[in-house]
């Protein structure tokens, strides 16, 4: 059933449209075109899908961890309604100038996922992101990486991976 092991997804710019500022409530969270259908299809061919997202809006005190959790729960609810499954969400709350190991391009969130799911087969896993820091984090862990944007989206990649229209 599962052709691939683990799919790591960035959030902003991959699952939802990237804003000039921050997604501070679910009303400003807008899914990328066909992202829900893509995640549904990807859920059938990957053993697990994990989100790895930088959220320095928490470090800036623009958003609380609880409010971020509310946004994520509503996002997961919509994904589930479309038969998609997200196994776990990892986020880095730190400011860009802090010396954490989790903020991409560092790979601490991916390392934590490998600790949480030691059965992950890195050689058969992907990271999809829209920024150079996403791709750098994935490459540093030997994941296959794909950079998406507003034209080549998660749905576009899903179509090329599965040869099925989303």
The catalytic site residues sit at 10, 12
Strands ordered across the beta sheet of 4-9: 88-92, 46-54, 4-9, 126-129, 144-147
CA distance 166 to 157: 10
Structure tokens at 92: 């880095």
Residues 148, 36 contacting (CB under 8 angstroms): no
CA distance 80 to 72: 12
SS3 9: strand
CA distance 58 to 95: 8
- CA distances, 38 to each of 69, 84, 117, 159, 162 (Å): 23, 8, 23, 8, 10
């Amino acid at each position: 059933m599962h052709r691939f092991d683990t799919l790591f997804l960035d959030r902003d710019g991959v699952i939802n449209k990237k804003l000039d500022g921050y997604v501070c409530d679910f009303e400003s969270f807008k899914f990328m075109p066909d992202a829900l259908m893509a995640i549904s299809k990807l859920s059938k061919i990957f053993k697990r899908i994990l989100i790895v997202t930088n959220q320095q809006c928490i470090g800036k005190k623009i958003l609380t961890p609880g409010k971020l959790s509310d946004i994520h729960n509503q996002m997961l609810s919509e994904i589930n309604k479309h038969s998609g499954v997200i196994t776990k969400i990892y986020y880095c709350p730190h400011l860009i100038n802090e010396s954490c190991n989790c903020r991409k391009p560092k790979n601490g969130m991916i390392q934590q996922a490998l600790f949480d799911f030691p059965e992950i087969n890195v050689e058969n896993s992907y990271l999809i992101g829209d920024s150079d820091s996403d791709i750098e984090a994935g490459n540093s862990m030997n994941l296959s990486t794909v950079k998406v944007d507003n034209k080549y989206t998660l749905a576009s990649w899903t179509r090329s991976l599965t040869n099925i229209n989303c």
